[in-house]
Amino acid sequence: MPFFNHAPTRSAVGHRSGTSFLAAALSIIILLTAPEAMAIGQQEEIILGRKVHSEISSEDIIFDDPLVNAYFQKVCQRVLKAAGQQPFPYHFSIIKSPYLNAFAVPGGYIYLHTGTIESLVNEGQMAAILAHEIAHITSRHFYRRSEAARTASLLNLAGLIAGIALAASGGGGQNTAALGQAMMIGTTGATIQAMLANSRTDETEADSKGRNYMLKAGYHPKDMYGAFKIMNEKSYQLSANIPSYLSTHPGLSSRLASTFSDQAGVPDSPLDPTYLAIRDRVMALTGSPNRTRDFFARRLAANPEDHAALNGLGLVAAREMSFAPAKKNLARASELAPDSAQYLADLGELALQVRQPQEAITHFEAALKKDSNHLLAILGLARCYELTGRNNEAATMYDRALAAAKLDYPPAKELAGRFFSQNGQTAKGHFLMSEFYELTGNLKDSIFHCEAAVKDPKGSRYTSVCERRQRDLKELIDKKI
């Protein structure tokens, strides 16, 4: 269940309406409350998780910065290893949303909001929340139903979905939000309240198991207490239009006083510079520009040579297309931290953004001298070589970027796919585009490009994997859960 036991809320950064995402995400929660869900087996659980992830991915709200994700995935795998052998592979993603939340769905899919990363102060606290969500899955809490859930009408629950979507999207102003609230109150508010109340046992069990996973992974139990305390204190950062019976985290205050009471007086963990650098980058790339700018400006006032704050200001300015201050701050950050490949790559990205590929090449090449596996620098060079007509070198760098994109970085698939399609390797291009569309939740487009790759005279090397992918995706689309 979600950390706060409310539905994930789509951030404004995506391109599609938040209504569709809320409806889809909440429909999964509703499906899991239905009596029929009791009979879901492991294979159905995996398919259900894939369907949810596909819908979330299609909303363009997955945060896929390679630097942040490499760090995030490392922490995830460390905690997952401590949880022991699992019946299926797990998938961890970061969602671009200012709201404090983390949530898990069947099949091993776990999501953490960028707003949560911004609120925590060290790696152990992030690990604590991930451990809690892993524990929900290993305990199969999705299938423990209260009497209220067993008797709830699916028709009424469908009304609840629509009501939450209207209330939380706010697209039609106060009238829309009021209509959504009325629909929710008029359907199954009491039923959901009863169901959430009964979920406190599950939350406590997830706390206990998650704590054990943390300890086995080498983290301190104080960090779970610290994470929960921060989440409890900042619970006001929830979507204002979602009603209290959905946004109230079940018993978090009492759990702090009971499950974690032994940690209340333990000294806080020391500062974690690596985590704080990751947090800075998340804030710079996804946070509210005004709030983030003020945050970094205050740090610079205290320390004019805070290179992370300078780099953060540069990234915020680049997001707002204020290119002169962006370049000034990014360049100064790189001067203060000359060994940072990331700062050089950020300068290269800015040069590309203002259509100066030759300057970008200089920055990306310098970044690769610091870190030969830096994905953004490799992919950036590929794009620069393509723009300057150096197609043979571009092809080499795109292949290198694909090899480095171990976390299935969608932009690498898309950019390489388009390049190879336009430069005589159409089968390879279609194959890569099919991967890109699968990763971004556009399953029908993925099937289309699979078919095109197989039909291509030079596509025989992709036949088996494309045919298998087509079968899997068609089954996923047609499967009724």
- At 431-449, the pLDDT tens digits run 999 999 999 999 999 999 9
Quick check: helix, strand or coil at residue 113? strand
CA dist., res. 307 & res. 330, Å (int): 9
To 5 degrees, how large is the angle CA 278–CA 283–CA 287?
A: 155
Comparing 147 with 428, the larger pLDDT belongs to: 428
pLDDT at 274 over 90: yes
pLDDT confidence band for 195 (50 / 70 / 90): very low
CA dist., res. 459 & res. 438, Å (int): 19
- DSSP letters along 418-450, please? HHHHHTT-HHHHHHHHHHHHHHTT-HHHHHHHH
Tell me whether residue 159 is exposed, middle or buried, using C-beta atoms within 10 angstroms of its C-beta: 0 to 12, 13 to 18, 19 or more: middle
Length of the chain: 481
CA dist., res. 165 & res. 159, Å (int): 10
Q: Which of 144, 133, 124 is nearest to 95 (CA)?
A: 133
Task: Show the tokens assigned to 212.
Answer: 């054990």
CA dist., res. 128 & res. 429, Å (int): 41
Phi, psi of 88 (to 5 degrees): -155, 160
* pLDDT score at 266: 78
CA dist., res. 251 & res. 465, Å (int): 48
Task: Show the tokens assigned to 87.
Answer: 């019946």
- Are 97 and 8 contacting, i.e. CB atoms less than 8 angstroms apart? yes
Please state the rounded mean pLDDT for residues 316-343: 97
* pLDDT score at 161: 37
CA dist., res. 223 & res. 230, Å (int): 10
CA dist., res. 289 & res. 319, Å (int): 8
pLDDT confidence band for 204 (50 / 70 / 90): confident
CA dist., res. 412 & res. 302, Å (int): 39
Quick check: helix, strand or coil at residue 105? strand
Work out the percent of the chain whose per-residue pLDDT is above 90: 53
Query: What domains can be seen in the chain, in order of their start residue?
Result: 18-263 (no CATH), 312-478 (1.25.40.10)
Please state the rounded mean pLDDT for residues 280-297: 96
In the chain, helix, strand, coil percent, each to 5?
Answer: 70, 5, 25
pLDDT at 203 over 80: no
Q: How many angstroms separate the first and last alpha carbons of the chain?
A: 18
CA dist., res. 299 & res. 280, Å (int): 11
pLDDT at 318 over 90: yes
pLDDT at 319 over 50: yes
Q: What is the pLDDT of residues 57-105, one digit of tens each?
A: 888 889 999 999 999 999 999 999 999 998 889 999 999 988 888 888 7
Name the packing angle between helices 66-82 and 375-387 (round to 10°).
150
Tell me whether residue 26 is exposed, middle or buried, using C-beta atoms within 10 angstroms of its C-beta: 0 to 12, 13 to 18, 19 or more: buried
- Are 66 and 376 contacting, i.e. CB atoms less than 8 angstroms apart? yes
Please state the rounded mean pLDDT for residues 189-200: 48
Helix and strand totals (H; E) in the chain: 25, 3
Please state the rounded mean pLDDT for residues 31-35: 45
CA dist., res. 426 & res. 246, Å (int): 49
Cut 0.85: pTM above it = no
Distances (CA, A) of 47 to 7, 39, 50, 222, 478: 20, 14, 5, 36, 11
* pLDDT score at 88: 85
Least confident residue range of 288-302, 306-320, 353-367, 466-480: 466-480
